[in-house]
Amino acid sequence: MSSPLPFSHPPGSAERGSTGRRVLIVGGGTAGITVAARLRRAGVTQVTVLEPSATHWYQPLWTLVGGGRARLESTRRPEARVMPEGVNWVRDAAIGVDPGTRTVITAAGREIGYDFLVMAPGIQLNWQGVPGMAETVGRDGVSSNYAPEHAPHTWDLIRELRSGTAVFTQPTGPFKCGGAPQKIAYLAADHWRRQGRLSDIRIVLVIPDPAIFKAPTWVPLLERVAGRYGIEVLLQSEMTAIDGARRQLTIQDNAAGEKQVLSYDLLHTVPPQSAPDWVKASPLADPASPFGYVEADRRTLIHPRHPNVFALGDAANLPTSKTGAAIRKQAAVLVANLLAAMDGRPPVSAYDGYTSCPLVTARDRMLLAEFDYDLRPTPTVPVIDTLKERWDMWLLKRYGLPALYWHGMLKGRM
């Protein structure tokens, strides 16, 4: 392997103080860019982002792409445009980390040294995790809003369906954007209602959890939404196989220990998810996580065994929903604690588990679910009752939040 990059001095030899320490951020997605921007605004000069992709995606809008309410083109920017000024971008992929020597190994065979490491590599979509999923997604009546190449196809399938059975599934285990599997079901149902087809279409929503939503406050609200559309909600159930040739799927009822084979005309599926494989195999993975997520203190976001390593975002093993809103709060806490560590001080900030899930319930209505580690409501929008389906909340989802993302969050301003 080549000598350490991008800084040649050995670990620990950087100047004292926050401006002289080498910070390496693994991942240039939402979490990585937000942290990089905040560090630069705080005056940290030696910041490197390791990210292979040339495109940066605003993924929360993919549900609206699949529901015919947004264009895919509006969800992407060149990665170079969102990279903060003064940050060293290494366009390569991480494949390993050695916290002992303070280096990250890349796919190109480079070793990048660091004094402080921020792990934000994102999440891995395991399309092979359900037999038949990888072979059928994008064809055989199957789509998924969890990939940009498939989200537009979801809308094609919804528009073309006149009658039959539409199935929407959610995977077992942690996954990003916890409300997305059911939001597309509501968008589809609302479209079919407006087209006068709803009575001709059986809609099945498969959820592995004991309730329709993780936070109890929103459970009765979403049950009413599902009931309004006549959606059959199968709780404590999961899809275990897809047969595209027959257009059938197998559903396991985990409560009753029974299986059923269901024929479908449209299937929107969400792949099982985990930390990237290299993270699972690394010394930074949480031994308590069967999905290989990075170990981190739930309050300080500091790795408990490697105090110069921090983690946030989808790859961090934090007991909260994996959303962009969670990352926004995590980034502020992480940067404050990282700056303190650079100056030899203890952590100064704590993350309370805040996350937010904009629950689109129709083509022009939305509920806003905001809650903390204890699943208690933590509303941040003044005056407005976000427990009601609202048109102004839909405008926030469609237009307000993307603008705040591109021009605020990724700039380190919020």
What confidence score (pLDDT) does residue 20 get?
64
Residues pairing with 119 in the sheet: 26, 311
Residues 87 and 113 occupy one common structural domain: yes
What confidence score (pLDDT) does residue 382 get?
86
Residues 348 and 219 occupy one common structural domain: no
Whether 165 maps to a domain, the answer reads yes
Q: Give, for all 414 residues of the chain, the pLDDT tens digit.
A: 333 333 323 333 333 344 568 999 999 999 999 999 999 999 999 999 999 999 999 999 999 999 999 999 999 999 999 999 999 999 999 999 999 999 999 999 999 999 999 999 999 999 999 999 999 999 999 999 999 999 999 999 999 999 999 999 999 999 999 999 999 999 999 999 999 999 999 999 999 999 999 999 999 999 999 999 999 999 999 999 999 999 999 999 999 999 999 999 999 999 999 999 999 999 999 999 999 999 999 999 999 999 999 999 999 999 999 999 999 999 999 999 999 999 999 999 999 999 999 999 999 999 999 999 999 999 998 888 999 999 999 999 999 999 999 999 999 998
Ramachandran class of 332: left when φ > 0, alpha when ψ lies in -120 to 50, beta otherwise: alpha
Domain limit, last residue, from 234, 249, 272: 272
| pLDDT tens by residue, 158-211 | 999 999 999 999 999 999 999 999 999 999 999 999 999 999 999 999 999 999
Whichever domain contains 21, its CATH number is 3.50.50.60
Kindly state the DSSP code that residue 349 receives in the 8-state scheme.
Answer: -
pTM of the predicted structure, to 2 decimals: 0.93
User: What's the start-to-end Cα distance of the chain, in Å?
Assistant: 39
Residues 95 and 114 occupy one common structural domain: yes
Provide the residue range defining the domain that includes 152: 132-272
Q: Give the mean pLDDT of the chain.
A: 94
Domain limit, last residue, from 213, 243, 272: 272
Whether 215 maps to a domain, the answer reads yes
| pLDDT tens by residue, 137-147 | 999 999 999 99
Whether 399 maps to a domain, the answer reads no
What confidence score (pLDDT) does residue 7 get?
35
Residues 253 and 205 occupy one common structural domain: yes
What confidence score (pLDDT) does residue 21 get?
82
CB 309 within 8 A of CB 119: yes
Residues 109 and 136 occupy one common structural domain: no
Order of strands across the sheet that contains 23-26: 88-90, 47-50, 23-26, 116-119, 309-311
What confidence score (pLDDT) does residue 383 get?
85
Catalytic residues: 177, 357
Residues 91 and 136 occupy one common structural domain: no
- Residues comprising the chain, all counted: 414
The C-alpha atoms of residue 311 and residue 375 are separated, in whole angstroms, by 22
| pLDDT tens by residue, 194-253 | 999 999 999 999 999 999 999 999 999 999 999 999 999 999 999 999 999 999 999 999
Give the Cα-Cα-Cα angle 178, 181, 185 (nearest 5 degrees).
Answer: 140
Residues 109 and 168 occupy one common structural domain: no
| CB-based burial label for 303 (10 Å; 0-12, 13-18, 19+) | buried
How many domains are contained in the chain? 2
Domain limit, last residue, from 249, 272, 295: 272
Give the Cα-Cα-Cα angle 293, 181, 217 (nearest 5 degrees).
Answer: 85
